[in-house]
């Protein structure tokens, strides 16, 4: 089979020891194929009771620690993990499956293909996610929004991102959807000049809070949302639509300034 980047992943049998370098995939595998995970990153926080050896961060995992776990498959993400680590693992003879979903549909397809490669039965959450997101977008005009994911410096969602597609399906138009970069770094003055109607502030990767983030956008409504439900592709997708819609509806009325 081929991964999301088209690279051939040669498996002589269904994997029995999997190391995940992606938090959302860690959750998906732990829930859907219990017992397969042999290791995960320090940032793999779900399921909360997950008890497996840790291999460091997603950006800088210890390749040596991964290899010491003797995996027959490592799962990674083109955006979250470094190419050099993937290549080092492959050079050591380990099969690596790299995901790269930029839309919800791509994510659901990618998850289905990966779980098939793991010889896992189709999980209930995957069907629930497909059903939840099959509903049409709100009929009201899209709200023009900016979506910071980091500050100092400011980093915002740009073009062709999974989170941007999620928000579009919830009636939110990303004002940086036309950017050349997927994660541009505009100065705050430029962000404000785009005259957003809403600022969407997730709690990861940067942990925006009521006291850290909204004050930079005086007079602009803001929404504090779950970063896990906005950016993770896995079991959280089954409840993400309802939760994010509620957070957007509740918090957008808040104002600062």
pLDDT digits (tens, 9 = 90+) for 83-133: 999 999 999 999 999 999 999 999 999 999 999 999 999 999 999 999 999
Query: Where do the structural domains in the chain lie, given as residue ranges?
Result: 18-122, 138-251
What pLDDT, on the 0 to 100 scale, is given for residue 97? Answer: 98
CA dihedral 156, 162, 168, 169 (to 10 degrees): -150
Give the H or E element holding residue 173: strand 172-174
Which residues, in sequence order, are CB contacts of 4 under 8 Å at separation 6+?
78, 98, 99, 100, 101, 106, 110
CATH 1.20.1250.20 is right for the domain spanning 18-122: no
C-alpha atoms less than 13 angstroms from C-alpha of 135 in its C-beta half-sphere: 16
d(CA 167, CA 200): 9
64-69 contacts at long range (C-beta below 8 A, 24 or more positions apart): 65/39, 66/19, 66/21, 66/39, 66/94, 67/92, 67/94, 69/17, 69/19, 69/38, 69/39
Give the H or E element holding residue 29: helix 23-32
pTM value? 0.93
Domains 18-122 and 138-251 share a fold: yes
Tell me the average pLDDT across 228-252.
Answer: 93
Give the chain's length: 257
d(CA 257, CA 246): 24
d(CA 37, CA 139): 42
Write phi, then psi, for 55 (nearest 5 degrees).
Answer: -120, 15
Q: Which SS3 state, helix, strand or coil, does residue 162 take?
A: helix
d(CA 58, CA 74): 12
Buried-exposed string 198-228: b where 16+ CB fall within 10 A, e elsewhere: bbbbbbbebebeeeebbebbeebbbbbbbbb
CB–CB of 144/197 below 8 Å?
A: yes
Tokens of residue 152, six digits: 């100092």
Query: For residue range 151-201, what is the model confidence (pLDDT) as tens digits?
Result: 999 999 999 999 999 999 999 999 999 999 999 999 999 999 999 999 999
Query: For residue range 66-86, what is the model confidence (pLDDT) as tens digits?
Result: 999 999 999 999 999 999 999
Please say if the pLDDT value at position 4 is more than 90: yes
CA dihedral 208, 209, 212, 213 (to 10 degrees): 60
Query: For residue range 15-34, what is the model confidence (pLDDT) as tens digits?
Result: 999 999 999 999 999 999 99
At the fourth CATH level, the homologous superfamily of domain 138-251 is: Nitrogenase molybdenum iron protein domain (3.40.50.1980)
Q: How confident is the model at residue 251 (pLDDT cuts 50, 70, 90)?
A: low
């Amino acid at each position: 089979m081929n991964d999301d980047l088209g690279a051939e992943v040669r498996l002589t049998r269904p994997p029995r020891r999997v190391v995940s370098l992606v938090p959302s995939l860690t959750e998906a595998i732990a829930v859907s194929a219990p017992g397969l995970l042999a290791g995960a990153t320090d940032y793999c926080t779900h399921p909360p009771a997950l008890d497996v050896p840790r291999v460091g961060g997603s950006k800088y995992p210890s390749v040596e620690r991964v290899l010491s776990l003797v995996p027959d498959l490592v799962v990674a993400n083109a955006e979250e993990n470094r190419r050099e680590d993937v290549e080092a693992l492959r050079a050591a003879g380990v099969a690596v499956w790299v995901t790269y979903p930029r839309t919800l549909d791509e994510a659901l397809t990618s998850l289905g293909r990966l779980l098939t490669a793991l010889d896992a039965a189709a999980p209930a959450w995957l069907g629930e996610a497909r059903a939840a997101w099959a509903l049409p977008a709100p009929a009201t005009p899209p709200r023009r929004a900016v979506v910071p994911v980091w500050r100092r410096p400011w980093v915002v969602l740009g073009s062709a991102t999974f989170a941007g597609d999620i928000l579009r399906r919830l009636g939110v138009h990303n004002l940086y959807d036309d950017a050349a970069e997927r994660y541009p770094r505009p100065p705050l003055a430029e962000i404000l000049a785009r005259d957003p109607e809403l600022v969407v502030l997730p709690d990861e990767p940067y942990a925006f809070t009521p006291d850290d983030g909204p004050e930079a956008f005086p007079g602009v409504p803001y929404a504090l949302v779950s970063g896990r439900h906005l950016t993770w592709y896995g079991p959280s997708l089954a409840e993400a639509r309802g939760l994010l819609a509620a957070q957007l509806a509740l918090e957008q009325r808040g104002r600062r300034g």
